[in-house]
Structures are given as structure tokens and as C-alpha cells.
Amino acid sequence: MVQSLVNTSELLEDRDDLTTPAGLLAWAEAADLPCPARPTQADLTRVRRFREALRQLLGGTPGGVPALNGELARTGTRPLLQAGPHVEFAGDDATALDTAITRVLAAVITAGLDGSLRRLKTCAAEDCRWAFYDRSPNVVSRWCETSVCGARHKMRAYRARQAAGATA
Ligand SMILES: [Zn+2]
């Protein structure tokens, strides 16, 4: 859910799905999240700001942290103990968008607590920053495997090997 939100924008392809109400509705439906029936420009701006704050968080930079904590406060996202026992994260759910953002925040918090959040990263290529899940044993992957970026990194690695071979 977090990855799909961050990747609604593909910098390498100059694509952003969240510039229109239809785009936001399509993402929310695909992610099985509630959405206002008629998203406003303010809704779109809010979600894009939230998305970019998440991208910064996954990229390991602190810039997005205040915006994310601002959304935690705005949506009232907090842990609730339930019988079972288990813990859920609930919010004030004032609007459909509040509920959607609460659920994404809950996923981020849960992943942060169970350690899987460190595997969800953004590509180190400045012009890419695609969100990907690092399955490498030591969590050392730096670049994504998208068609454009992955091919570029393969070419870079190939040239590096060729250069190493030429000097060997
Ligand atoms: Zn990339």
C-alpha cells in the first residue's frame, strides 16, 4: 500500500497519477482504500504532499518527517489494544481521505515496528527514486529494477566490467 502510493508518480517517465480526481479514485480503489466521491484540488495536494513525505522517509532523509507527523496528528492515528490480543492503529476518520491516510500511516508504523520498513526504500538514482522492496540478505540494494532504471544500471554495471576487463 505504501509502495503503491509512492509509485503513483514515476519521475523517470514524468508520470503522476495523482494530478486528477480520477487518478486518485483509481489509486484508492486499487489499494482498497476509501476516497471522497469527488476529490477536490485540496485533497489531491494533500495526498501528493503526503506521498512525497513518504518518499523522503523511505529515502532515509528527514525532510518528510514533520509532514508525516502532522498527518498523524491531523488524522488522530493512534494505537489501540484489542482482544486477541493484538494492536490496531485507528484514526478519527473524519473524512474518507482521513481514513485512507490513517490506513497508510498504520502500515508505515507497523512496518517500522516489525523492521520491514528498512527494506522499503527509494532508488538511489536522483532522477528515479522509485519505491522498491529490498529482498537482499543484508539489505544493501540501492537501485530499483524498473524497466528504465534497471536497464540503465545493468548497462552501467556492464560498462564497469568492460572497463575493468580492459585494464586487467
Ligand atoms: Zn531507479
User: Rounded to the nearest whole angstrom, what is the distance from the C-alpha of residue 142 to the centroid of ligand 1?
Assistant: 8
Q: And the C-alpha cell for 168?
A: 586487467
Answer whether the bond into residue 66 is a cis peptide, omega within 30°: no
pLDDT for 167 equals 65
Q: Is 140 helix (H, G, I), strand (E, B) or coil?
A: coil
pLDDT for 19 equals 97
Q: Packing angle between helix 41-58 and helix 65-75, nearest 10 degrees?
A: 130
pLDDT for 163 equals 86
Residues 6+ apart with CB under 8 A from 162: none
Q: How many residues does the chain have?
A: 168
User: Rounded to the nearest whole angstrom, what is the distance from the C-alpha of residue 2 to the centroid of ligand 1?
Assistant: 17
Per-block mean pLDDT, blocks of 10 residues, the chain (168 long):
95 93 97 96 98 97 96 97 94 95 97 95 92 93 82 78 77
Ion ligand 1: residues, CB < 5 A: 123, 125, 128, 130, 144, 149
CA-CA distance, 72 to 62, in Å (whole number)?
A: 16
pLDDT for 168 equals 59
